[in-house]
Amino acid sequence: MSITSSQEDNRILPALALALVDNPRATLQELAKAVGISKATLYRFCRTREQLIERLMSHSAEVFNQVLHMSDLESGPSLEGLKRLIANNMEHRELTVFLMYYWWKADSADSDAEAGWQNALDAFFLRGQQQGVFRIDIPAPTLTEIWGSIMIGLVDAERRGRVARAGLSVLIETAFLHGALSE
């Protein structure tokens, strides 16, 4: 099997991301076996573990830029934008978990991507506050951090088997919008 197309990247890279998180000390051979490819195929794809992590970081940044674009946060009702944002992020939970564990290895280009995501989300939450959808007593950048923490935390909890996959999007939305306060 030859890994050359972006379709193959979209299939193999998330599996490799999860394999790296599940077994951070795995050899390239163990990672290849975990995702069902040969070591030679993985070696042609990335010759070292560091190259694999760099490629995954770059791929993750590209995917999450697409997620933000596809979520269309600049228009329409903010509540619908939030639902799209959550749904689009859920399609890439393996990359979310990977970034959680490996973001500390990010270079300046990846840090620029993070700043872009933060700015886009800050603007989205500010617009939602202006529409009266989100609380105004919490600054928009803080809402970005709260949303990100809930998203990342629950996606990782699902990976570890502590939270069911079924209904995870609704759980993230509910936890963000309503917190844990009993009504």
pLDDT tier for residue 11 given thresholds of 50, 70 and 90: confident
pLDDT tier for residue 34 given thresholds of 50, 70 and 90: very high
CA distance 95 to 158: 14
Does residue 119 carry a pLDDT above 60? yes
Encoding tokens for residue 149?
A: 């923490």
What is the predicted pLDDT for the residue at 1?
Answer: 39
What is the predicted pLDDT for the residue at 114?
Answer: 78
User: Pick the residue with more confidence: 8 or 112?
Assistant: 112
Q: Hey, how many other C-beta atoms are within 10 angstroms of the C-beta on 164? A: 10
Q: Hey, how many other C-beta atoms are within 10 angstroms of the C-beta on 72? A: 14
pLDDT tier for residue 138 given thresholds of 50, 70 and 90: very high
- What is the per-residue pLDDT across 81-92, written as a single tens digit (0 to 9) for each? 999 999 999 999
Structural domains of the chain sorted by starting position, each given as residue range(s) with its CATH number in brackets: 6-178 (1.10.357.10)
Encoding tokens for residue 69?
A: 């674009």
User: Pick the residue with more confidence: 102 or 153?
Assistant: 153
Torsion of Cα atoms, 127 then 114 then 165 then 91, to 10°: 90
What is the predicted pLDDT for the residue at 113?
Answer: 76
